[in-house]
Structure 1
Amino acid sequence: MIYKLIRNSVIWRVSLVVLASLAIGFLLGKKMDLWMIATLFIITIWMLIRLVKYIQQPYKKLHYFIESVKNDDTSTLFSTKTGNAFLNALHSSLNNLNRLIQEKSIRVRMAERYFSEILQHIDTAVLVFNEKEFVLNSNKSTLQLLGLNTLTHLRQLDKVNGSLRDLLLNCENQKERTIHIRKEKESMQLIVRSTIIRLRDETVTLVTMQDIKGELERKELDSWLKLIRVLNHEIMNSLTPVTSIAQSLGELWKNNPVNEIKPKIVEQTINGLDAIEERGDALMRFVESYRLFSRMPDLRMSEVSITAFFDRTSILISPMKEEKNVSIQFYKPDIDFNARMDEQLMLQVIINLIKNSIQALNHENNGKIEVSSRLLNGDVIEIIVVDNGSGIPDEIKDEIFVPFFTTREEGSGIGLSYSRQILRAHGGSIGCNSVPGRTEFYVRW
């Protein structure tokens, strides 16, 4: 509609100018009165000026509106009762656009305030700085972590720790690293993640920091308590019978003079000494297990085909498979891929997981174990061992990776914990998901 008004108005005004110009030419050709020609010429010039102003007027309005928006002034309101239908339509459109900009601006400010409040309430320290090292934003957790009242420039970090500023400036984009610093007399272990964000006018760096020292100490204490509990259990299981048997034998010989020793007493003594020897051997085996667990061999890394790795694993576990009469299926990937690993140690991990599954299926009919592998996100290797056993009870799920924890009398309790050490040496992890009828162990690196 607005374009039609412009077109019709311009055509009408241009037509008048053209007609006036033709009239001037006609009068000049007829050598008419000069005053009449001069009057018509002045009228033509006036119409041209009006035409130019008419065309310029909307552009002036648009320029004024754009300048107002550039200066964040959205309070401008144009009149829609100018007596000019075209200007009324233009002003109405500009007012509608201005209203939309106001609504968008309000939404943006609300979102900024919303995210600012979230930023201030999270426990993770968040810091944003530009290429000139000026701090553009930081939250309360940052100030609390660093012990500062305000933070406007990275140079202020020198008061906290002399190396922290350089560490933050040299963090790689999208990389996470752990740094150790001292703040006054306090030691901190920070997980730092840096992200470079390129804006239109500048490049800024977003840094998140979290002190994990307290959490690590808590988990370390929990691990020690679990380990001490298991060690106490194993040692007491060995020493309690030894002490009891020794006391019984001592009383037996004290209450019977040497010249009155009967064959039955000698037999009881020999049986007691055999029991002491047996428990001593068990304690020695336990100590040997501890020595094995505490000494991780050096990794011998190589590129290994997953298909070939599964073939070797299948050969090595075939005697157990036949002895226990358990179905073990290896599902090789459709497209073979290589994994960088210490093959012997990784074989030890997978075979140990399969052994555990076989033992879990010891009293099950139609026991079945499945071993498969896949790539996660294109570069993370995952091997999964699944069995259809009764599952792991909820009360011991958190204990199965604790060194020397076992639910079997003949078990050493180091298989899973040693496997976890091997995976950590590979930069990976091992985990478990278990429900009745399905237990899944997975290794990733």
Structure 2
Amino acid sequence: MNSNIYNLCQMNKQSSPIDSLDQVPVALLAVYSNEDIKLLNKEAYRLFQEEQLGGMPALDSMIQKDIVGIQPNQKTLSSITLADKTIPVILLASEIQNSETSKIVSVQPIQQELDIHEVNVWRNVSTLFCHKLGNIITSLDIFSSALSQGLPENQMHLEGVSIEQVMGDILNSTNKLKLYNHALQKITYQPSPRFQKINLNWLLGTVNDICGELCIEHKITLVTNLSDSDLEIQGDLVLLQDALIQLVNNAVDALANTTHGKIELNILHTGQGKAVINIADNGPGIPQELIDKLFLPLYSTKGHGKGVGLSTVRQVIHIHNGTITATNNKNGGALFSIKFNCSRSSQSNM
């Protein structure tokens, strides 16, 4: 990456170096000898959410210190704080030989890599836990069955407690363990996707059709806004439909106590081969302290939930080399955003 950045910086110096740098798919910053920092390409503009190129990004003191202090050919881990969100990034510096700029620093977000690592850790832990839990369940089944069948009639009560009642409690506890074991097995399951070209407008249209009846039943308005561009991705239709339907179902649950509930689905083409699918509602939103926990396996905001749904959704998105984030809308309600690599569709069907 260092040599590529340097080469691009040397291209078209007399015409438009910024146009050349826009070819780089990571954010680039110029660090001047007086320690000023400026944005260099469109990816930097998107990452730092600045209004114009060449402007001074609003940096917190920690990453500004990291960017100024990094040496050429050095790589370091840092983070960007934007609004209420912290984004982990890797910084990589390249020295530029001219009178003004001392170096160029690339800023690469790594949240997706961290999320994938986290999922793999949870999968390994869950596999081990499933094995141990399965052994306990088997032992309880055998013990309770043998105990209930082996006791004579005159010993079915002990100190005023019915043995049948005790056996019922054991069986109920065993069944609960089986449910949690099943939930853990779902976490450890790695689906084998069948990739095909999928038109995103068509995909969102099918989700609208499938979820429409449920929304009508709960008196919720479902609005779907399709993209003006025909965008397509390589994906597994069933897995993606299930993931999006899960998110809509979660939104329906969140709107249980909201009058005039509304769920909005839309597709945005952000340029440079990226598309975003948003699922938004006007419910109570997500408590700030829970946002970072939503996608953890076995974590649920529902009293009856097993904490499998959103972790499975994230796993499906990662299989498709995408990312998913959860935030709150400025006007209230939750917003789930899924970003994919995409291309323009050559035809309008699936």
TM-score normalised over the length of structure 1:
0.45
Displacement after TM superposition at 1:287 (Å): 2.7
User: Does the 8 Å contact 2:324/2:337 carry over to 1?
Assistant: yes
Q: 1:283 to 1:219 in 2, by over 3 A?
A: closer
1:301 corresponds, among 190, 196, 216, to 196
Q: How does 1:261-340 map to 2 (within 5 A)?
A: 261-262=156-157, 265-292=162-189, 295-304=190-199, 306-333=200-227, 335-340=228-233
Q: 1:408 to 1:144 in 2, by over 3 A?
A: closer
Count how many residue pairs are aligned between Structure 1 and Structure 2: 256
Q: 1:268 to 1:368 in 2, by over 3 A?
A: same
**Alpha-carbon displacement from aligned partner over 1:337-388 (angstroms, at most 9, x marks no partner):** 1221313222222111111100101122211111111211253111111111
Partner-residue secondary structure (3-state), 1:398: helix
| Amino acid in structure 1 at the alignment position of 2:166 | T
1:399 matched to 2:293: yes
**Alpha-carbon displacement from aligned partner over 1:66-91 (angstroms, at most 9, x marks no partner):** xxxxxxxxxxxxxxxxxxxxxxxxxx
Q: 1:363 to 1:380 in 2, by over 3 A?
A: same
Partner-residue secondary structure (3-state), 1:123: helix
Cα distance in structure 1, aligned partners of 2:154 and 2:265:
67
Identity, in percent, stands at: 18
**Alpha-carbon displacement from aligned partner over 1:205-249 (angstroms, at most 9, x marks no partner):** 966479999xx8999689969x979x99xx99xx9xx99xx99xx
Q: 1:218 to 1:313 in 2, by over 3 A?
A: closer
| Amino acid in structure 1 at the alignment position of 2:240 | M
Q: 1:124 to 1:363 in 2, by over 3 A?
A: same
Partner of 1:360: 254
User: Does the 8 Å contact 1:289/1:412 carry over to 2?
Assistant: no
Q: 1:210 to 1:369 in 2, by over 3 A?
A: closer
Higher share of residues assigned strand:
2
Q: How does 1:85-104 map to 2 (within 5 A)?
A: none
Cα distance in structure 2, aligned partners of 1:207 and 1:413:
43
1:341 matched to 2:341: no
1:437 matched to 2:332: yes
Q: CA RMSD in A?
A: 5.0
User: Does the 8 Å contact 2:73/2:93 carry over to 1?
Assistant: no
Cα distance in structure 2, aligned partners of 1:302 and 1:350:
17
Partner-residue secondary structure (3-state), 1:356: helix
Partner of 1:114: 34
Displacement after TM superposition at 1:307 (Å): 3.0
User: Does the 8 Å contact 2:91/2:106 carry over to 1?
Assistant: yes
User: Does the 8 Å contact 2:323/2:339 carry over to 1?
Assistant: yes
Higher share of residues assigned helix:
1
Displacement after TM superposition at 1:144 (Å): 7.6
Q: 1:212 to 1:339 in 2, by over 3 A?
A: closer
Cα distance in structure 2, aligned partners of 1:424 and 1:350:
14
Partner of 1:173: none
Gaps of 5+ in 1: 1-110, 126-138, 147-189, 251-255
Gaps of 5+ in 2: 1-30, 39-63, 77-89, 341-350
